[in-house]
Amino acid sequence: SQQGEEDPQALSIQEGENATMNCSYKTSINNLQWYRQNSGRGLVHLILIRSNEREKHSGRLRVTLDTSKKSSSLLITASRAADTASYFCATDRRGSNYKLTFGKGTLLTVNP
Amino acid sequence: EPEVTQTPSHQVTQMGQEVILRCVPISNHLYFYWYRQILGQKVEFLVSFYNNEISEKSEIFDDQFSVERPDGSNFTLKIRSTKLEDSAMYFCASSVERVGETQYFGPGTRLLVL
């Protein structure tokens, strides 16, 4: 089964708009993390939300987690051209205490 | 701010050659990981390492792969006999604790096997 599937696969918006990306997963998790990757570069950690949390904020980022639906969303408000990147969710699955399982990611393009 | 570093940033090798990818995790972190990302695909877990031994490994991490913490700061991934399909970006990560903690990733080593 696929764990950590993001949608949409690609999103193109104008600067100043909000961007919402979703992630679904199939098994119970300990926590869910969102990462960002600029083209061909490393993974930058954005935010971690634990399974007993429902919402978390960090600057312009807002993450929600619905464990009953096994889904999470990442909202970037007032987007900037510099937010252009791929965004991945990664789950830390219950019973597997070490590894993160990544989705395929959403490619966000913010047009100036 | 402390960060994970990796060397080299790029490596080109011939099929069948051995490569060693190096990582320096964040200094107070206890858990270390290797992941890889084949171009256009998901980031995949390879192995985790704690207390000088492998904690968990994926089916990708076969006998051609090995990891080592040769001293107090470096963490290495060795591929004994590289194959074309080993071409990928390899990421090292580290975390303070195991469960429920952020894994911090390095910038990656892009490996190209010819």
In DSSP terms, B67 is beta-bridged to B77
Architecture of domain A5-111: Sandwich (2.60)
Q: How far is Cα A112 from Cα A102, in angstroms, rounded to an integer?
A: 29
- Decide: B23 and B90 in contact? Cβ < 8 Å: no
pLDDT at position A97 is 63
CB contact under 8 A, A100 and B103: yes
Per-residue pLDDT at A2 exceeds 60:
no
Structure-block tokens of residue A76: 């970037």
pLDDT at position B96 is 86
Q: How far is Cα A53 from Cα A30, in angstroms, rounded to an integer?
A: 11
CB contact under 8 A, B55 and A102: no
CB contact under 8 A, A99 and B58: yes
Q: Does A65 touch chain B (CB under 8 A)?
A: no
- Chain A residues with beta carbon closer than 8 angstroms to that of B58: 99
Each residue of B23-77: pLDDT tens digit? 999 988 989 999 999 988 889 999 999 889 999 999 999 999 999 998 878 999 9
How many residues are recorded in chain A? 112
Q: Which helix (H) or strand (E) holds A56?
A: strand A55-58
- Chain A residues with beta carbon closer than 8 angstroms to that of B43: 43, 88, 90, 100, 102
Q: What rounded mean pLDDT belongs to chain A?
A: 89
> In angstroms, what separates the C-alpha of A65 from chain B's closest C-alpha?
15
Q: Above pLDDT 70, what percent of chain A?
A: 93
Structure-block tokens of residue A59: 């600057």
Each residue of A6-43: pLDDT tens digit? 777 899 999 999 999 999 998 888 889 999 998 878 89
- Chain B residues with beta carbon closer than 8 angstroms to that of A96: 56
Q: How far is Cα B68 from Cα B53, in angstroms, rounded to an integer?
A: 8
Structure-block tokens of residue B14: 């011939």
Q: How far is Cα A62 from Cα A47, in angstroms, rounded to an integer?
A: 9
Domains located in chain B, CATH noted = 1-8+26-97 (2.60.40.10)
Q: How far are the Cα atoms of A14, A80, A82, A112, B69 from residue A90, in angstroms, in the given order?
A: 26, 24, 22, 29, 26
Q: Where are the domains of chain A?
A: 5-111
pLDDT at position A92 is 85
pLDDT at position A3 is 54
Q: What rounded mean pLDDT belongs to chain B?
A: 92
Q: Closest partner residue to A102 among B43, B48, B99, by Cβ?
A: B43
Contacts of B60 (CB under 8 A, 6+ apart): B36, B44, B46
Which of the pair, A93 or B59, is modelled with greater confidence?
Answer: B59
Q: Are strands B5-7 and A61-66 parallel, antiparallel or unpaired?
A: unpaired
